[in-house]
Amino acid sequence: MTVLALAGAFVFAPPSGPAAALDLLGFLGFGSDKPPTPSAAALPYEVTIDGADAKGVEQAVKDASNLYKLRNEAPAGGEALVFLAESDLPRVLDALWGLGYYDATVEIEVAGVRLRLGGGPNPAAPRAAEAYRNRAPVPVRVVVQTGREFTLRRIAVIDGRTGGPFPPAEMPQRVIGLNPGDPAHSADILAAQSRMVDRLRDLSHPFAKVSRLEPVVDHPAGAMDVTFTVTPGPVARLGPITMSGLTTVDPAPVRSFIYAEQGDPYSPAELAGIRKSLARVEALGSIRIREADKLDANGELPVFVELTERKMRAVGASALYSTIDGPQLNAYWTHRNLFGGAETLRLEGSVFQATRNDGEPLKSIQDLTWADLGWRLGFTFMKPGLWGTRTDLLASAAFARESTDAYVARHVGGDLALRYRWTDLTSAQAGLRFDRGQASNVQGQIDYTLVGLPVSVTYDSTDRPLDPTRGIRATASLTPYPSFLGSTVNMTIGRAGASAYWSVDEDSDIILAGRVGFGTLLGADIDAVPANYRFYAGGGGSVRGYKYQSLSPRIGLDPTGGLSLLDGSVEARIKVTDTIGIVPFVDAGMAYENRYPDFKETLGIGAGVGLRYYTPIGPIRLDVAVPLNKRAGDRPVTLYIGVGQAF
């Protein structure tokens, strides 16, 4: 039997994912197998791998081999090429051990001269390589003999406190994840080690560690016995949470975004929650959470939050385009620390192509008039952490002209609200809304004044705002517009929506995403409701493949809007490489004339496929969609371009 050192047995077993993804780009010229042209100044070579027939072996050899990785960079001479080959021998052998082939052997032939691990220098190899100079690539052959694949036989997890096994409740088998008969892969053993430490840290043991990992290989039996000695360390609670690094931003409102408190049980999830919630403060740049290396006198673990501030002012612009709805341009200016308390002020405007009342398309830029443009100008303001509490003050106002197939509306209004954050996941909001305007559609014109009392509740457990990989978003709102406050239309609008995201694999290369939305309008008859307050479906943020707001009751080809709405989407977000992804999707939805969806209108269903280019700020999105139940006036194919996922 052989007792293996951890470094020798396991450290050099690399993951196969990145290299596999790189090979997918071979058609673009990355990782090409064609060697450089022979010359007098360099000695290109060509690598072949023999004997790597078992699953995963060839890729593991390629990942470990510097000869393979540097095959497009010709060395200067034979000595350098042979040195590269000799350094590959232990690397490739370690990779094979990592796959459970502990009887494996590796040899490398350079120009027909064989090099063996431990065989010492072979002066014939550089000379044989030099014979190819300025003639042809030097043939380099990696010869692998894997032997049999070893399996796990006995797996023991020892509690470092007692010297005996862990209680199943503290270290269940699903956490260990190894079973007799499994392949003796080093990556699986190291992953089990990480899971066991993570399990104990989740149980408030911040200093948990695997104090000893002892793999023993039985060569005659083709088996491995592995023993983990795991030392949990003390149970701890969170100690004082100290912030540092702020110079121009008042710490009090920032501190209101830290929901963990001294005395709470320690867990990595609590620390991750601190980072996630602080990331919502726009004035902050980098956020580093650091734990003390020992407990304090109270048996608590001090936590240090180290912050930096962002540039306080920013300006930006974006563009959207769809072949149905046309272009849209957006621009904004923002200040992230207006009065020194992390207040944000954002001024923004957008302009877009409006639908002509006569339905005629815009044929050239020379035909463009002011009536062909829709626009919106407005501001939003937030003062977080009023008086150091978890209450935020929100204000916004906008002046807009909208012109779509459904209506033309001009209106001005604003909101004033207070939002209370119970936790990083859940918040509630209530306030006052005012809107005054004029809306007209095929049924006529309505001049209106609306004063509402909106209330809403939001839940968000997603991990990333623009490209979530897991979690749920849900919101529900109710806005009454009572006549006693001055509203000319006595009505109540209710909305609810939710989206969910699930990573199929650990690397989040495949994500299933779905959303559903519902709306209803109570109180007023539809003829009294301004057209811009009715419900519609269709468009890039609703049912792709259909024109914006086109899915509703209609008079002729003109949508009139409804008193209720039901829509939803499902997507499979599949990464092909680190930066490229494809997204097949299906959307469905319709607005209905009655106050609740009665399905008297034919449900609009759109389907298609999207392309994603992933950037540090979020994915760039290109979607192609078709309406599956095409109606009069619907186009056969629609293209959408934007930033961020569809939902």
pLDDT of residue 437: 96
- Highest-scoring range by mean pLDDT, 171-175, 405-409, 416-420: 416-420
What pLDDT sits at residue 368? 60
Asked whether residue 254 carries a pLDDT value surpassing 90, the answer given is yes
Provide mean pLDDT across the span 593-609: 92
pLDDT of residue 217: 94
What number is the average pLDDT over the span 61-72?
93
Sheet holding 138-145, edge to edge: 45-50, 138-145, 105-110, 113-116
Residue 633's pLDDT band (boundaries 50, 70, 90)?
Answer: confident
Binned at pLDDT 50, 70 and 90, residue 33 comes out as: low
What is the model's pLDDT at position 332? 95
Buried b (16+ CB within 10 A) or exposed e, 36-69: eebeeebbbbebebebbebeebbbbbbbbbebbe
Residue 512: which pLDDT band, with cuts at 50, 70 and 90?
Answer: very high
Whether the predicted pLDDT of 460 surpasses 90: yes
Distance CA 246, CA 306 (A): 9
Give the pLDDT score at 631: 85
Is the per-residue pLDDT at 191 higher than 80? yes
Provide the percentage of residues in the chain whose pLDDT is more than 70. Answer: 91
H or E segment at 303?
Answer: strand 300-309
Cα gap 434→449, rounded to integer Å: 8
In terms of C-beta density within 10 A (0-12 exposed, 13-18 middle, 19 or more buried), how is residue 317 classed?
A: exposed
Confidence of residue 32 (pLDDT cuts 50, 70, 90): low
pLDDT of residue 13: 30
The pLDDT of 377-405, averaged and rounded, is: 94
Q: Is residue 605 pLDDT above 90, yes or no?
A: yes
Residue 306 has pLDDT above 90, yes or no: yes
* 2-23 per-position pLDDT tens digit: 334 333 333 223 333 333 333 3
CB 409 within 8 A of CB 531: yes
Q: How confident is the model at residue 439 (pLDDT cuts 50, 70, 90)?
A: very high
Contact 275, 298 (CB under 8 A): no
As a whole number, mean pLDDT of residues 44-49 equals: 94
In this prediction, residue 366 carries a pLDDT of 60
Which whole number is the average pLDDT over 260-279?
93
pLDDT at 28: 35
pLDDT band at 519 (very low <50, low <70, confident <90, very high): very high
pLDDT at 27: 35
Higher pLDDT residue, 460 or 19? Answer: 460
User: pTM for the complete prediction?
Assistant: 0.75
Q: In this structure, what are the phi and psi dihedrals at residue 161, rounded to the nearest 5 degrees? A: -80, -35
pLDDT at 23: 37
Q: For 220-230, how does the pLDDT look when each residue is reduced to its tens digit (9 = 90+)?
A: 999 999 999 99
Is residue 271 within a helix (H) or strand (E), and if so which, with residue range?
helix 268-278
53 or 257, higher pLDDT:
257
Q: What is the mean pLDDT of the chain?
A: 89
Confidence band for 405, pLDDT divided at 50, 70 and 90: confident
Which carries the bigger pLDDT value, residue 404 or residue 576? 576
User: Looking at the predicted structure, is the pLDDT value of residue 358 above 90?
Assistant: no
DSSP 275-298: HHHHTT-TTEEEEEEEE-SS--TT
Does residue 380 register a pLDDT over 90?
yes
What pLDDT does 362 receive? 57
pLDDT of residue 119: 76
Residue tagged 């690399």 (tokens) = 14
